Chains A and B, each alone.
Chain A
Amino acid sequence: MAYGVLFDGTRCIGCRACSVACKSWNENSAKVEKKTSVEGGIQGKAVVSSDTFTFMRYREIGEGDDFKWAFAKIQCMHCLKPGCETACIVGALHRNKETGAVTYDQGKCIGCRYCMVACPFGIPTYQWEDRTPWIRKCTFCSDRLNEAENGMAPACVTACPTRALQFGERDELIEEAHKRIEESKAADPAGVGKYIDHVYGEKEVGGTAWMYISSVDMTELDLPWLSEEPVTKNARTAMSLLPYYATGMLALMVGIYFITKRRQKIAAGKHEEKKG
C-alpha cells in the first residue's frame, strides 16, 4: 500500500494553481528569468529547478478540428523503484514504503549528482547558484502525507479547482483511471471516448506513484516513452562498478565531507529562521 496522485488531462484547465501552491507550501522563492519559455503557446516557467518543484507543460497538438491544447503537470513521479535511490551512493534518497514518497536527506547527500543522471524524468535539480548546494525536488509533500489519514493531501492537489489532480491509494487510483477510460468509451457511440487508453505511470519503469490519463498520448507532452523495466536494474549494474573508482575518489570525498558539514550548519541556521 502506498499513495499516488492521478492527473486527468481532460479535467485540467492549466491554471497553475498547483505551481503556486507548491511554492507556497515549500516556501520556494520565485525568480523572473530574463528569457521566459514560450513553448506550447504560453510564456512561463517550463523547467523544474531547485526552487520550482513542479510546473505546467503546455503543448499545441494537431491541426484543424483535431487541434488540441494539452496540459501536463510535471513533477517528481515518485517511482516505485526509484533510479535515484539506487544511484545514490550514500542513501540520501529514499522511498518511504508507507507513503510512496521518494524523499531526500540533505544530511547524507555528498553532492555527487548521480541521482540527476539516473532519473529518467530529469527531475532532481542541483542548487548550482548556491554556495552550499543541495539536491532539490518534489517531496510529494511528505510532511503533509503524515496527516493523509486526516484528509491532508499534497499542496498542489488541494489547490486544484477542477479535481484534475486526485490523491489517494495508488491501487485505487489505477482502478479509478481505468474506470474513467472505460466509462468514457461506453458513453461514446463510436466506442472511443475522450481518453487515450493508457495510464501513464501504471507500469512505466516498474510503476510510479504519480500517474496520468489524458486525451493525448503523454509522449506528445514530452513525457519519455519508457519500458516497464525499472530504472533500478540498470542503475544497479552501473553502481556495482563504483568501488573500482572509489579509491581514486577518496581525496575528493574527504573534501566533500567538510563542505557538506559546513553547509549543514549554515542550513540548520537558515531553517530555524524560516520556522521562526
Chain B
Amino acid sequence: MTNHWIDIRNADCVLIIGSNAAENHPICMKYVLQAQAKGAKVIHVDPRYSRTSARADMFIRIRTGTDIAFMGGMIYWILEDMRKNPGNYNLQYVQQYTNAAYIINSGIKLPGDEGQNGLFSVWDSTNSKYDTATWKYADPANATGESKLLTDNWSGWTSRAADEETAWGELNNNCVLKLLWRNYRRYDKATVSKITGIPQEKLEAVYAEYAKTGATGQAGTIMYAMGATQHTYAVQNIRAYSIVQLLLGNMGVAGGGVNALRGTSNVQGSTDQALLEHILPGYLKMTTDVDAHQTLAGYISNITPAATNPPGDLAGDNPVNWWKNTPKYVHSLLKAWWPDVALADSYNYLPKKRATGVNYTHMGLIEAIGKGGPDGVEGLWIWGQNPAAGGPTSLGARDALKKLKWMVASDIWFNETHTFWKRPDVDPSTIDTEVFLLPAAGSFEKEGSVSNSGRWVQWRYKAVEPPGEAIPDLDMMIQLFKRIRKLYDDEVKAGKTSVIPEPILNLSWDYSDEEEADVIAREMNGHALTADVPKSGAPGTFYEVGELIDWFNDLQPDGKTSSGNWLHCGQYTKASAADQQDYAELITVVNGIPSINKAKKRNVVDSSPSQVGLYPNWSWCWPRNRRIIYNRAAVDLNGNPWDAEHPVLAWNGTAWVGDVVDGGGNPINLAAAGSQNLPFIMNSEGVGKLWGYSLKDGPIPEVYEPWESPISNLMTAQQNDPAAYIGKLLVDGTDWNERGTVGDFPIIATTYRCTEHWQTGIMTRNLPWLAELMPKMYVELGADLADKLGIVSGDTVKVRSKRGEIHALAIVTKRFQAITVDGKEMHQVGIPWHWGYAGRVKGDSGNILTPSVGDANTCIPESKSFLCKVEKA
C-alpha cells in the first residue's frame, strides 16, 4: 500500500477493483464503512456480487480479465472531461507532479497505429521481446522546441474545442498526455462496453463518480488484490490504476493511493526481505550473470539510476532520485552478511542468477522439479507452502513432485504437498521421494515482526509454547546453517578443494540456537562499523562503533556501516530521551547503548494534524516511519495541503508538520533552484509516471485477452500479451498445461477465496469451527446458467478445464449473472481453491483447473480468467 489501512477512512470515494475486501480483508471494511458513513461512495467492480458488493453503493459487474479496457475507458473519460471541465481537476498536480508534460522519443508507435497490430514499437519477434528505445524520453538536448513543455500551453489542452488532434494547439504530438489521449481515445464507452460486458450507462455513472475525486482537495483510493494481479497482464492492470490516480491527483494524499491488499499475513514482510527471485533485501536488484555484474563496481553502476532532470519550464526542479543511494545500501548489506570480508570479495559470494533462459518463479520451479535429474531440481525444502494445491495446474504439479529425491517440509500441519505420495488414486510404492516433516511453531508460538499491507512492522510476542517438538522456522534456519557450515568446515579441514567454502564460512551467523528475532531486527537496521560515521541528526558528531544507525541516510558506502535491509534502517535505534521516558519498558541495551525496537511501540494516540489517522507511535513503518509515501504530492508548490481537512503534511513557514516528509527540503516555491524537490523521489525523474519505460509489455496498458478467452481481442489483432509467460509443465513427456478452447469450454471461470478459509485451507480446514462454517468445496454459478444446465443449489457438479476436473457443491446464486460481451451472452462461474486431500474436511482444489501461464513481468499465474465447462455430476 502506498497508504495504510486506517487511511482508507479519509477517502471521498473508494474504488475496490480486483478485490473482495469484505471477505478477504474483513477488518479493513471498518475503515471503508467509516468513509462511507461520512459520505464517501464505495464502488465495487467485480465479476461476482460478493459481500463487498453488498456494502457498496455501486456494483459494476465486469468480465474477468478486462480491467485494462475498463480503466482505459476511465482514462479517456477523464482526459476528455479535463478538457471540458478543467475546473474539476487539480491540473497543477498533473502538470508539476507527473510526466504528463514530458516528450517521448519521436519513433514511438502505439498499438492502434497503422501497421502496429496491437503492439507498441518495436517488437523483436526473433527474441520475443520489446526493444524499448522508443519508449524513452526524447533527449532534451536534441529536441529543441519539443522540450518546451506543456506548462506554457496547458490552455491548448483545456480550450480545445473539438476532439480532433489538429485542435490541440501547441501540444507536442509526443508529449505523454497527448500519447495517452491518442491511445485511449480508442477506449470509448461503446468499445469498452463490448469488451467488459458493462452497459454504457453504468460506465458513464462509475467514471463520473470516480472522476469527482480529481477535484483539488478530494481523494479517491483504489483497493486491489489478486483479482487484479493474477493475469498475464497483471502489472499493466496496476499501471492503469496508477495512471488514473495520477491524473486525479490521488497519489500521496490522505484517503488516496494505489493500495495492494496483501494476500497473506506478512507477505509484505516477505517481499521486503526479498523472498522473491528478482531482488535482494530492500528491493535492490538481483545479481545476474550479465557482464556488468561481474564486479561490485559494475553491478552498482548498472543498477544505480541516473537522475532524469526535467526539461523545459520545469528545469530547476530536483528529481531527488533516491535510488542514487543504491551503493550505500548494497555496501551496507554486504557488510551485514560478511562484515570481515572486503566488499569486492564478498560481492563475489553473491549468487549470480542467469539473466535469460531460466524462470526462477513458482511455475519455473515446478517445471524444473518435473524435469527431474541433474538438470532439474532434486530436493525441495518447503517452508509453509503448498504447491500441490496452491499453485496452478495442480494435477501436473503433484505429478511433478514424484521426481524429487527428497522433500523437507517445515509446517504446522501435513498439507497436500507433504502427502502427495499417498494422495488418492496414487500407489505410494511407485514414488521414491523421501519426505521429512519438521514440526514448526505457529505464529502465536514465536516472537518476531509481521509487516502488514500498510508497511507497518509490528512486533509480536510469543503467547504460548509450541506443542511437542515444534520450534520456530527461524530456529530451524539458524541450526540448519550451523550444520551446513560444519560440513564445509570439515571438508576444508579434510583438504577438499571441490567446494567454495568462503561464502559459507565467512557469513556472519553468531546466533544462539533459539529466540534471536530481536538480534536479527538489529542486524536489519544496521550499525556503525567505524568511528567516522557522521550523525545527520546531530551535525558534527559521530556514531560510536556498534551503535545502531538512526536512519538510512546515515548509511555509508565503502564498508563503514552495515544494514541487512536499508528500508528497515531506523526501526531499531539508539533510544532518544523522549523514548527512554515514554517507552521505558521497551528499552534494550545494545553495545552499552540504550536502544529501542520501535516495532514494539503501541501508542494509540494519533498525534497527526487534524487526526488523519497516522498513529506514528503505533509500531514503526518503512520507510523512516513515513505512513503515506509520496506525501509531498499532498501539498502544493508552497507546501500547503491540497486538502486542508485531511492534511498529511503542511509547511508551517519553517518546517514540515504531519507525516515524515518524503525527500526533505523546503517546498518547491520556497527552495533554491536545484533543491526544488519533486514528490516522487523513487522515480529517477521525480514525478509520477503516467508513461513508463521499464516494463516488458508496454509503456502504458493495452487491452489483451486472457490466455483462455471466450472471444478474439476486440481492440486489435494481438490476442494475448506478447510478453506473457506460457508455461510448459512437462512430466515424463506429458504437458499438463494444455489450452482449452471456447468450443469445448464455453464458461468463463475465475478463482477466489472466502472468509472462512485461508489459502489452501490447511490452517483453517483443520480448525473445527471454521471447517463447520465452510465444509465443502463449492462452485458458485448464476441461477440463469444453472437453469440451462438443470442444476439446483446443493447438487454435486463437475467442473472441467483442459487441465483437469473437479467435483464441487453447486451454489446457485443471483450474485452471478450472464453478461453480454460483444453482443453474445456469456456466463462466469466462481471457484475457490481452499480444499485438498489433506486436513479435516477434504475436497478438490480449484487450482486443478487453472493454467500455468503468467504475467509478462512478474510471472504470477493467470488464475483469475480461464475457461471451463460445468455439468451435473
Is A35 part of the binding interface, using a Cβ–Cβ cutoff of 8 Å?
yes
B23-48 CB contacts (< 8 Å) to partner A: 23, 26-27, 29-30, 33, 39
B633-669 CB contacts (< 8 Å) to partner A: none
Q: Which residues of A contact B267 (CB under 8 A)?
A: none
Q: Which residues of A contact B813 (CB under 8 A)?
A: 41, 60
Is A130 part of the binding interface, using a Cβ–Cβ cutoff of 8 Å?
no
Please tell me if the beta carbons of B26 and A69 are within 8 angstroms of each other in the complex: no
Q: Which residues of A contact B23 (CB under 8 A)?
A: 13, 15
Q: How far is the CA of A38 from the CA of B52 in the complex (A)?
A: 20
Please tell me if the beta carbons of A36 and B55 are within 8 angstroms of each other in the complex: no
Please tell me if the beta carbons of A13 and B772 are within 8 angstroms of each other in the complex: no
Besides the known contacts A41-B811, A44-B773, 12 further A-B residue pairs in the complex with CB atoms under 8 A apart: A13-B23, A13-B51, A14-B22, A14-B755, A20-B770, A24-B769, A32-B768, A35-B794, A43-B778, A44-B774, A69-B54, A162-B26
- Given known contacts A42-B811, A60-B813, is B26 in contact with A15 (CB within 8 Å)? yes
Is A275 part of the binding interface, using a Cβ–Cβ cutoff of 8 Å?
no
- Given known contacts A16-B773, A20-B773, A60-B815, is B809 in contact with A36 (CB within 8 Å)? yes
B728-785 CB contacts (< 8 Å) to partner A: 755-756, 768-776, 778, 780
A1-25 CB contacts (< 8 Å) to partner B: 10-11, 13-17, 19-20, 23-24
Q: Which residues of A contact B769 (CB under 8 A)?
A: 19-20, 23-24, 30
Please tell me if the beta carbons of B54 and A13 are within 8 angstroms of each other in the complex: yes
Q: Which residues of B contact A60 (CB under 8 A)?
A: 813-815
Please tell me if the beta carbons of A163 and B811 are within 8 angstroms of each other in the complex: no
Is A63 part of the binding interface, using a Cβ–Cβ cutoff of 8 Å?
yes
Q: How far is the CA of A24 from the CA of B770 in the complex (A)?
A: 11
Is B53 part of the binding interface, using a Cβ–Cβ cutoff of 8 Å?
yes
Binary flags per residue of A226-251, CB closer than 8 Å to B gives 1, else 0 = 00000000000000000000000000
Q: Which residues of A contact B33 (CB under 8 A)?
A: 11, 162
Q: How far is the CA of A63 from the CA of B783 in the complex (A)?
A: 12
CB distance from A146 to the nearest CB of B (A): 25
Q: Which of B771, B778, B812 contacts A32 (CB 8 A)?
A: B771
Is B286 part of the binding interface, using a Cβ–Cβ cutoff of 8 Å?
no
Is A173 part of the binding interface, using a Cβ–Cβ cutoff of 8 Å?
no
- Given known contacts A43-B811, A60-B815, A162-B29, is B793 in contact with A31 (CB within 8 Å)? no
Q: Which residues of B contact A161 (CB under 8 A)?
A: 26-27, 29-30
Q: Which 6 A-B pairs have the closest CB atoms?
A: A30-B768, A41-B813, A30-B772, A13-B22, A38-B793, A69-B54
Q: Which of A30, A38, A71 contacts B54 (CB 8 A)?
A: A71
Q: Which of A14, A19, A20, A32 contacts B51 (CB 8 A)?
A: A14
Please tell me if the beta carbons of B774 and A43 are within 8 angstroms of each other in the complex: yes
Q: How far is the CA of A126 from the CA of B53 in the complex (A)?
A: 37
| Chain B interface size range | 35 or more
Q: Please give me the residue from chain B that is nearest to A68 by CB atom.
A: B54
Q: Please give me the residue from chain A that is nearest to B780 by CB atom.
A: A41
Q: Which residues of A contact B773 (CB under 8 A)?
A: 16, 19-20, 44-45
Q: How far is the CA of A31 from the CA of B775 in the complex (A)?
A: 10
CB distance from B200 to the nearest CB of A (A): 15
Is B412 part of the binding interface, using a Cβ–Cβ cutoff of 8 Å?
no
Is B841 part of the binding interface, using a Cβ–Cβ cutoff of 8 Å?
yes
- Given known contacts A23-B769, A30-B772, A44-B774, is B755 in contact with A162 (CB within 8 Å)? no
Please tell me if the beta carbons of B770 and A69 are within 8 angstroms of each other in the complex: no
Please tell me if the beta carbons of B53 and A15 are within 8 angstroms of each other in the complex: no
Q: Please give me the residue from chain A that is nearest to B793 by CB atom.
A: A38
Is B833 part of the binding interface, using a Cβ–Cβ cutoff of 8 Å?
no
Q: Which residues of B contact A10 (CB under 8 A)?
A: 55
CB distance from B198 to the nearest CB of A (A): 13
Q: How far is the CA of A39 from the CA of B272 in the complex (A)?
A: 43
Q: Please give me the residue from chain B that is nearest to A23 by CB atom.
A: B769
CB distance from A47 to the nearest CB of B (A): 12
B821-845 CB contacts (< 8 Å) to partner A: 840-841
Is A70 part of the binding interface, using a Cβ–Cβ cutoff of 8 Å?
yes
Is B329 part of the binding interface, using a Cβ–Cβ cutoff of 8 Å?
no
Can you show 24 pairs from A to B with CB atoms below 8 A apart?
A: A11-B55, A13-B29, A14-B54, A29-B768, A32-B768, A32-B771, A32-B840, A33-B775, A35-B794, A36-B809, A38-B812, A41-B812, A41-B815, A42-B811, A43-B809, A44-B773, A45-B773, A63-B814, A67-B49, A67-B814, A69-B53, A69-B54, A71-B54, A162-B30
CB distance from A240 to the nearest CB of B (A): 42
Q: How many of chain A's residues have a CB under 8 angstroms from any CB in B?
A: 36
- Given known contacts A41-B811, A41-B813, A162-B30, is B51 in contact with A69 (CB within 8 Å)? yes
Q: Which of A16, A32, A33, A38 contacts B811 (CB 8 A)?
A: A38
Q: Please give me the residue from chain B that is nearest to A40 by CB atom.
A: B813
CB distance from B810 to the nearest CB of A (A): 8
CB distance from B579 to the nearest CB of A (A): 29
Q: How far is the CA of A163 from the CA of B114 in the complex (A)?
A: 56
Most buried by A among B39, B51, B778: B51
Binary flags per residue of A45-76, CB closer than 8 Å to B gives 1, else 0 = 10000000000000010010001111100000
Most buried by A among B39, B52, B756, B778: B756
Binary flags per residue of A79-113, CB closer than 8 Å to B gives 1, else 0 = 00000000000000000000000000000000000
Q: How far is the CA of A29 from the CA of B773 in the complex (A)?
A: 12
CB distance from A193 to the nearest CB of B (A): 13
Is A223 part of the binding interface, using a Cβ–Cβ cutoff of 8 Å?
no
Is A187 part of the binding interface, using a Cβ–Cβ cutoff of 8 Å?
yes
Which DSSP category, helix, strand, loop or mixed, fits chain A's interface? loop
Q: Please give me the residue from chain B that is nearest to A29 by CB atom.
A: B768
Q: Which of A17, A31, A69 contacts B772 (CB 8 A)?
A: A31
- Given known contacts A30-B768, A43-B774, is B55 in contact with A13 (CB within 8 Å)? yes
Q: Which residues of B contact A69 (CB under 8 A)?
A: 49, 51, 53-54, 815
CB distance from B27 to the nearest CB of A (A): 5
Q: Which of A17, A19, A29, A38 contacts B809 (CB 8 A)?
A: A38
Q: Which residues of B contact A11 (CB under 8 A)?
A: 33, 55
Q: Which residues of B contact A38 (CB under 8 A)?
A: 793-794, 809-812
Q: Which residues of A contact B756 (CB under 8 A)?
A: 16, 44
Q: Which residues of A contact B811 (CB under 8 A)?
A: 38, 41-43
Please tell me if the beta carbons of B841 and A32 are within 8 angstroms of each other in the complex: yes
CB distance from A118 to the nearest CB of B (A): 29
Q: How far is the CA of A147 from the CA of B769 in the complex (A)?
A: 26
Q: Which residues of B contact A70 (CB under 8 A)?
A: 54
CB distance from A253 to the nearest CB of B (A): 37
Binary flags per residue of B777-808, CB closer than 8 Å to A gives 1, else 0 = 01010000000000001100000000000000
CB distance from A213 to the nearest CB of B (A): 14
Q: Please give me the residue from chain B that is nearest to A62 by CB atom.
A: B814
Q: Please give me the residue from chain A that is nearest to B813 by CB atom.
A: A41
Q: How far is the CA of A38 from the CA of B29 in the complex (A)?
A: 25
Q: Please give me the residue from chain B that is nearest to A33 by CB atom.
A: B775
Binary flags per residue of B1-38, CB closer than 8 Å to A gives 1, else 0 = 00000000000000000000011001101100100000
Q: Which residues of B contact A163 (CB under 8 A)?
A: 30
Q: How far is the CA of A70 from the CA of B55 in the complex (A)?
A: 10
CB distance from A42 to the nearest CB of B (A): 7
CB distance from A68 to the nearest CB of B (A): 7
A173-221 CB contacts (< 8 Å) to partner B: 187
CB distance from A214 to the nearest CB of B (A): 11
Q: Which residues of A contact B52 (CB under 8 A)?
A: 13
Q: Which residues of B contact A15 (CB under 8 A)?
A: 22-23, 26, 51, 755
Q: Please give me the residue from chain B that is nearest to A13 by CB atom.
A: B22
Q: How far is the CA of A125 from the CA of B29 in the complex (A)?
A: 34
Q: Which residues of B contact A45 (CB under 8 A)?
A: 772-773
Q: How far is the CA of A42 from the CA of B810 in the complex (A)?
A: 10
Q: How far is the CA of A68 from the CA of B49 in the complex (A)?
A: 9
Q: How far is the CA of A14 from the CA of B33 in the complex (A)?
A: 14
Q: How far is the CA of A219 from the CA of B772 in the complex (A)?
A: 27
CB distance from A187 to the nearest CB of B (A): 7
Q: Please give me the residue from chain A that is nearest to B32 by CB atom.
A: A162
Please tell me if the beta carbons of A43 and B775 are within 8 angstroms of each other in the complex: yes
Q: Which residues of B contact A14 (CB under 8 A)?
A: 22, 51, 54, 755
Q: Which residues of A contact B22 (CB under 8 A)?
A: 13-15
